[in-house]
Each structure stands twice: as structure tokens, then as C-alpha cells.
A and B are shown apart, each in its own frame.
Chain A
Amino acid sequence: QQQVKQSPQSLIVQKGGISIINCAYENTAFDYFPWYQQFPGKGPALLIAIRPDVSEKKEGRFTISFNKSAKQFSLHIMDSQPGDSATYFCAASMTSRGLTFGQGTILTVHP
């Protein structure tokens, strides 16, 4: 069964701190790993994505680290801000398939 397991379920971070969210997958055929950010009442929005031929990708304060052998990938949010408070979803897909999502992490950044 295709699964993506995400942890933690919730995370509280102080402003300026680093937020780290982890995901693990089982299906080695997955070849695309995006992270989505969702605010209440809104649809998920693509934040950053990585392919398995790369071990790290950085865009601004957001970094994905990817470990192919361990079948794990993580999102790091540097200098976390209150505006980053949202639910974050990792996901994975195979070419020509839809996304399989993790269960989500509710991030709260305290001022």
C-alpha cells in the first residue's frame, strides 16, 4: 500500500527558531516529493518540491533534505515566523500518478 508517514502531528516553535517536519515513505517508485502549506479555509499551496536525484533543495527559508536510502525526507523552516503558522503536508507521487499525502503537521510559531 502506498503510504507516507508524517511527524510530528503538531509543532510549537518560537519566532526565529527552526521548524523541522519529517516524512517517511515506503514505495520506492515514488519520484517526486513536494511539501504543501495550508491555511484555514484555503486549499493546499505548493511550497517546495524535490526529486530523488537531489539530496537537498533550498528556497529562501525553506529547505528539503532527502535521504533516498532511508526513504525519508524532511522540511526545515529557518527563522520561523508567526506567519508560517499553518498545516504542512508532505506528499509523494510516481510519474503520471496523483499525490499521496502525509497526515499533516500543525505548526504554531509563537511571537
Chain B
Amino acid sequence: DARVTQTPRHKVTEMGQEVTMRCQPILGHNTVFWYRQTMMQGLELLAYFRNRAPLDDSGMPKDRFSAEMPDATLATLKIQPSEPRDSAVYFCASGYRLAAMNTEAFFGQGTRLTVV
């Protein structure tokens, strides 16, 4: 049963601490997305990668957020330092893009982050 796996599922941290969220995309997928979901803003695209290369991270606050793909089986999203306004559910999604086709995105279960 292929699925996107995200860890941790829940994280409570104090303001100013570093937070790292991890994502294992579906094996064989070449595109990874990071989204953030809040009641006020809904689902927002933070960044996405294709073949491990970052294509767009314009949705991320550059001063505190960073996203990487150390290898094809791991994507990470880091927040340093974390702030209460970062509290949200962070979703990773993966997909496989062929040529000029759009990428169907499969979402993980999300990481619920609470910054106190």
C-alpha cells in the first residue's frame, strides 16, 4: 500500500526552538510538495521539488523556513526559530510528473505543529 509517510504526526514546541518535519514520498515519485493548512489561510503551497531539485519555494518565509531533499526517499522542512504563528498542519505530498502533464498529488497524514 503505497503512501506518503510524515513524521512526527504531532509536535509541540516552545517558541524559538528548531522544528524538523520529515516526509518519505511514495517510491518512484519524482515530485514532492510541502503545504501548510490553517483555518485562516487554508492550504498554502510552501515549496516543491522535482527530481530532488527545488523548483519553487516562494511560499516559504525565507528567514526561518528551509526545505531540502537529502535523497529521493526523504524530504525535510525545518523551521528555525519557530514562532506561535507557525502553528498549523504541515502536509507533504508526492507525485510523478510525465513530460508536460500535471502532477497528481498524493498527500501524507500531516504533521500538526503547535508552537507555544
Contacts and interface: CB of A to CB of B under 8 A. Distances in A.
A101 B42 contact: yes
B25 interface: no
Q: Chain B interface secondary structure, helix, strand, loop or mixed?
A: strand
Given A100-B45, A101-B42, A95 B108 contact: no
A45 B50 CA distance: 21
B96 to A, nearest CB: 13
Range of interface residues on chain A? 20 to 34
Q: Chain A interface secondary structure, helix, strand, loop or mixed?
A: loop
Interface string B41-59: 0111100101000011000
A93 B102 contact: yes
Interface of A: 31-32, 34, 36, 41-46, 49, 89, 93, 95-104
